[in-house]
Structure 1
Amino acid sequence: MTRAMTLFDAAPDPGPDSSARARIVIHFDGGARGNPGPAGIGAVVSDPGTDPPTRLVSVSRYIGETTNNVAEYRALIAGLEAARDFPARAVEVRGDSKLVIEQVRGAWKVRQAHLRPLVDDVRRLLDAYDTVALVHVPREQNTDADLLVNAALDAR
């Protein structure tokens, strides 16, 4: 089941003269072969205002040895950082990590201390948007980001 969750309203309205897009979508994924193990990240930033949606930028990177959860967070951070080159008033974040989605929106506690700074980084990056939607999607709806993770791991 796909559920959209609005996190918060943050940035001021850029006004009618702004060149910002209405909305961008970020798909993210991270994975480790072994847990911990060699890890990669993938993120796709797209403009859903075109038909079909335009892929604006992709991120695929090997990040060394870490856990699946850290890789998921680092993928989202990389996607949000890449998205800064494409200003928008709203962002929809889509990922198959229920843990990341629920912790970022504040529904689940962050029990592992090493994840807290990553959650803080994500929230700081999300502050740039008027509207934030966090959507947990099934793995089958996150294949582009997943392919980027595997490409990064295979190329290491």
Structure 2
Amino acid sequence: MALDGIVNVNSLFTDAVFIGLSLASDSSDQSSTLKSKSSCSTDIEVARTLLVYKVFSFSSFLFYSLIAHGLKLAINLLNSREVEEALKAKINVNILKFGMMGSAIGSVMGCLFLMLAMVNVVEMKLGLLSCGGKTAYSVATLIILVPIGLSGYISIAVYAFMH
């Protein structure tokens, strides 16, 4: 079930990042921004960094989702060998734990890169972080809430890894 959760969440994030990449617009389009001062405008480097973070996030989610899906497939194939004892397949627990922990680490990396990409999106829409105001409040909220959620996820993953 843990592998199902990892695969489902990573697939959802992979789809979201892929759609975000495909719908990415040119940063020179000033009609899509909410900035009031031109001194708070972002340059092309923020857009490039945004794209890099999105690609890193997409790669992390996709790669580790494939690892989790491969583990799930291996478990299903091992279970299908012994029809009368479908729930008692012999699985190398160390490989399973290693794969699950790797998938969890990949999910965390993907979330961190997605958070960094969102910081760049906020800067592109509201203005540079150094200008303060709503940009700083939005980024602060993002930087507070995402790590809190990730710490809960990490602690549950470590607990599952240890037991």
* TM-score, length of structure 2 as denominator length: 0.23
Query: Which one has the largest radius of gyration?
Result: 2
Query: Which protein has the bigger helix share?
Result: 2
* Larger RCO, structures 1/2 (Cα 8 Å, 6+ apart): 1
Query: Which protein has the bigger strand share?
Result: 1
